[in-house]
């Protein structure tokens, strides 16, 4: 009987050892795979012939990144820039063996712009310059035309349209925006006797220009084409900054495209308009609640836009009135750049928008 029990115990023990062995192997394999998936850096690469994504191990060195770029682009002599506006990534100032994780710039999830040094030199030839000048899009005759109704005289009491044209311009929407669950949220600011509200822009492919124009050119219904022309003029006058790589198409083609009524605006346009009007533009992404700043710390004034993923709206301070919201004509659209309170309240309002799912979900290349 003891013999039988001992044999049974031995058999069970061997089976348990086999099971434990498989469990250990599975766990080891699982964690190795998890490590490989988790601890990697991914970067979006944009260069003259297209875009692609590269994945490098977390301990990759500068030399690994350069080799990967050369392998994918067939370029041996190139510059790398990151962010917007594109800023030089000066890898040549560091040792090739330096891990990318030690750089001040965090490259994981970053978009890198690659430009050939040879191509850049050839693009400065007289022939290229004359070609660009010959195909310039229609320009605004005078920037004062755009700024004719732009004034900060009402900065503390609101920027109010003073001409009769404001009455004929299409009103800013006060109705519920499609995609918002329930009423449009507001954030009262009692100490200022006003409420921070979302002024919804029409879905007309010009929402960015209309939102910016509503802030700086209130009541001017002609502001959209003029603002588009400001963008085109700036791009034409800065061919090195706004190159084919940055624009993802020929600058002249981009300038013609952005001046059509169906062209959407984005970060490039916000950066240009912010500088052109000496206006800090704050853009809050509803989904991530991240704050993007354009012409930061270079202006005494700012406006606040809200981005839902595919649409731009404007945040304004509406004076509190008895019986409901005040008329948009009384909105404070421009704020002092030092006013941090309004930014915190803006993020609070965007948090409420996020809770109501006022954003467009999108996936980019697995990120």
pLDDT of residue 4: 52
3-state secondary structure 126-184: HHHHHHHHHCCCCCCCCHHHHCCCCCCCCCCCCCCCCCCHHHHCCCCECCCCCCCCCCC
The phi-psi region of residue 318 (left if phi > 0; otherwise alpha if psi is between -120 and 50; otherwise beta) is beta
Which residue in 254, 238, 243, 253 sits closest to 117, CA to CA? 243
**Are residue 314 and residue 191 in the same domain, yes or no?**
yes
User: Domain tally for the chain?
Assistant: 2
**Are residue 215 and residue 110 in the same domain, yes or no?**
no
pLDDT of residue 151: 32
> Which distant-in-sequence residues (6+ apart) come within 8 Å of 324 by Cβ?
none
Answer yes or no: is pLDDT of 367 > 50.
Answer: no
Read off the pLDDT of residues 93-123 as tens digits, 9 standing for 90 and up: 889 999 998 888 888 877 788 888 754 433 3
Supply the DSSP symbol for 257. Answer: H
* Listed residues 90, 116, 142: the one ending a domain: 116
Cα–Cα distances in angstroms (integers) from residue 42 to residues 38, 39, 49, 183, in the given order? 11, 10, 20, 39
CA distance 159 to 157: 7
Mean pLDDT to the nearest integer, 150-163: 31
Q: Which CATH number characterizes residue 326's domain?
A: 3.90.70.80
pLDDT of residue 274: 94
Structural domain containing residue 337: 187-356
The answer to whether residue 160 is domain-embedded is no
DSSP string, 259-293: TSTTPPP-HHHHHHHHHHTT-EEEEEETTT--EEE
Read off the pLDDT of residues 167-214 as tens digits, 9 standing for 90 and up: 333 433 333 344 454 567 899 999 999 999 999 998 888 999 999 999
pLDDT of residue 360: 59
Mean pLDDT to the nearest integer, 312-340: 83
* Listed residues 116, 146, 162: the one ending a domain: 116
> Which distant-in-sequence residues (6+ apart) come within 8 Å of 41 by Cβ?
55, 56, 57, 58, 60, 100, 101, 107, 108
194 contacts 319 by C-beta, under 8 angstroms: yes
* Listed residues 88, 116, 144: the one ending a domain: 116
Let me know the angle formed at the C-alpha of 316 by 310 and 321, rounded to the nearest 5 degrees. Answer: 135
**Are residue 85 and residue 212 in the same domain, yes or no?**
no
Least confident among 9-13, 80-84, 88-92, 152-156: 152-156
Neighbours of 311 (CB within 10 A): 22
**Are residue 95 and residue 208 in the same domain, yes or no?**
no
**Are residue 216 and residue 108 in the same domain, yes or no?**
no
Residue 221's pLDDT band, with cuts at 50, 70 and 90, is low
pLDDT of residue 135: 33
The answer to whether residue 193 is domain-embedded is yes
pLDDT of residue 121: 38
25 contacts 33 by C-beta, under 8 angstroms: no
Q: pLDDT over 90 for what percent of the chain?
A: 36
Read off the pLDDT of residues 267-304 as tens digits, 9 standing for 90 and up: 999 999 999 999 999 999 998 899 999 998 888 999 99
Mean pLDDT to the nearest integer, 124-139: 34
């Amino acid at each position: 009987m003891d013999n039988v029990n001992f044999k049974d115990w031995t058999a069970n023990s061997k089976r348990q050892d086999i099971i434990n062995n498989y469990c250990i192997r599975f766990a080891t394999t699982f964690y190795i795979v998890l490590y490989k998936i988790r601890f990697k850096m991914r970067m979006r690469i944009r260069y003259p012939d297209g875009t692609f994504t590269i994945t490098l191990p977390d301990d990759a060195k500068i030399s690994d990144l350069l080799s990967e770029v050369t392998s994918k682009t067939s370029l041996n002599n190139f510059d790398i820039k990151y962010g917007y506006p594109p800023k030089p990534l000066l890898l040549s100032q560091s040792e090739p063996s330096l891990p990318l994780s030690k750089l001040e710039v965090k490259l994981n999830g970053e978009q890198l712009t690659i430009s050939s040094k040879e191509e850049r030199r050839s693009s400065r030839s007289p022939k290229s310059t004359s070609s660009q000048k010959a195909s310039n899009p229609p320009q605004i005759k005078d920037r004062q035309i755009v700024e004719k109704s732009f004034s900060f005289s009402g900065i503390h009491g609101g920027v109010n349209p003073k001409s009769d044209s404001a009455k004929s311009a299409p009103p800013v929407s006060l109705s519920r925006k499609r995609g918002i669950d329930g009423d449009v949220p507001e954030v009262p600011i009692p100490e200022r006797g006003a409420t921070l509200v979302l002024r919804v822009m029409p879905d007309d492919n010009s929402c960015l220009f209309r939102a910016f124009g509503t802030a700086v050119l209130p009541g001017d219904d002609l502001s959209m084409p003029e603002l588009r022309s400001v963008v085109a003029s700036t791009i034409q006058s800065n061919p090195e900054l706004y190159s084919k790589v940055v624009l993802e198409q020929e600058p002249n083609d981009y300038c013609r495209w952005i001046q059509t009524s169906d062209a959407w605006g984005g970060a490039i346009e916000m950066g240009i308009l912010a500088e052109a009007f000496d206006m800090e533009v704050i853009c809050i992404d509803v989904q991530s609640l991240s704050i993007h700043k354009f012409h930061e710390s270079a202006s005494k004034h700012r406006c606040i836009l809200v981005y839902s993923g595919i649409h731009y709206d404007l945040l304004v301070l509406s004076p509190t009135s008895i019986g409901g919201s005040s008329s948009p004509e009384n909105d404070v659209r421009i704020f002092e750049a030092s006013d941090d309170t309004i930014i915190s309240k803006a993020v609070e309002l965007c948090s409420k928008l996020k809770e109501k799912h006022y954003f467009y979900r999108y996936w980019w290349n697995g990120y």
